[in-house]
Amino acid sequence: MSCSENGKNQAEMVQQLKRNPSSYRDFWNGFDDKKFVFTSPFLSKHKLPKEWRSSLILETMIGQDVEHAMQSNDMMGINPYLLQLALGKFEDELSEYFEEIKEEERKREKAERLRKREMLFAYDGTYKVQLGLNRGTIDGQIYQDLGSILFTLNRGQPKLDENNILYQALGLNEINFSLDYDGYMIVSGKFLDEIKSERRCAYLAGNLKSDKKFNPKSSQNCGASGQSLSMRFEKISDDVNFDFVDEKELKKTRW
């Protein structure tokens, strides 16, 4: 009870911990993992199973008497196993302390989730999406304008106007939208090629805050060079129930 490597003996440490359980950090450096393993084999096996196993393997490899080292009492330093016995309910107090820390962490994580959700909801509204196809020809590429379709974000949930003729003609029911809280959105899936009537892949990405035109990106199942779908986004109203048939608003949103 009197030996110490950091200026305190176990009796003093017990009293300190009873007064202030969180102060264990002040003298935790009084022993290292190796000393913990050999002076408190049962506790260390439970608390530090990986370190316990690796320390025993290391000692065996260098020819040390592992059993003697574990059973001997001549190693200097503070024995946390004896501290635990001396403190009695200290482990319960320490558990409460760590639970308080975990609760604070949960509160911070919840606050961060709410903050990001509010940032996501800031993009809510109605968007005009100009659709087109980039077609390869002998002389290069030509762009074919297909028309526009409404796209809404309602509490971060994306939806295309299913009543638009382009929705059915291009099979846009297989197109998915993934929006991040910073405004970065990925458009992925398959659509119907207007000429060949075949399903072709699409994997476009852009930022709703800064990019009107979304550019093709390569994914696991869709190469950037082989894509033909073109999409341009323009927010036309913060109202998710915006009526696009209003002639004045329609003129404002023409490209």
Residues sharing a CB contact under 8 Å with residue 156, sequence separation 6 or more, in sequence order: 117, 120, 121, 123, 124, 179
The whole-number pLDDT of residue 167 equals 92
Do the beta carbons of residue 38 and residue 70 sit within 8 Å? yes
Mean pLDDT by 10 residues, the chain (255 residues): 50 72 59 62 68 68 54 47 57 70 89 91 93 75 88 92 91 93 93 75 92 90 88 91 58 45
The whole-number pLDDT of residue 1 equals 37
The whole-number pLDDT of residue 2 equals 41
The whole-number pLDDT of residue 199 equals 86
The whole-number pLDDT of residue 89 equals 57
Do the beta carbons of residue 36 and residue 105 sit within 8 Å? no
The whole-number pLDDT of residue 242 equals 76
Q: Both tokens of residue 101?
A: 């820390």
Do the beta carbons of residue 12 and residue 56 sit within 8 Å? no
Under DSSP, is residue 42 helix (H, G, I), strand (E, B) or coil?
Answer: helix
Cα–Cα dist 255/235, whole Å: 12
The whole-number pLDDT of residue 19 equals 76
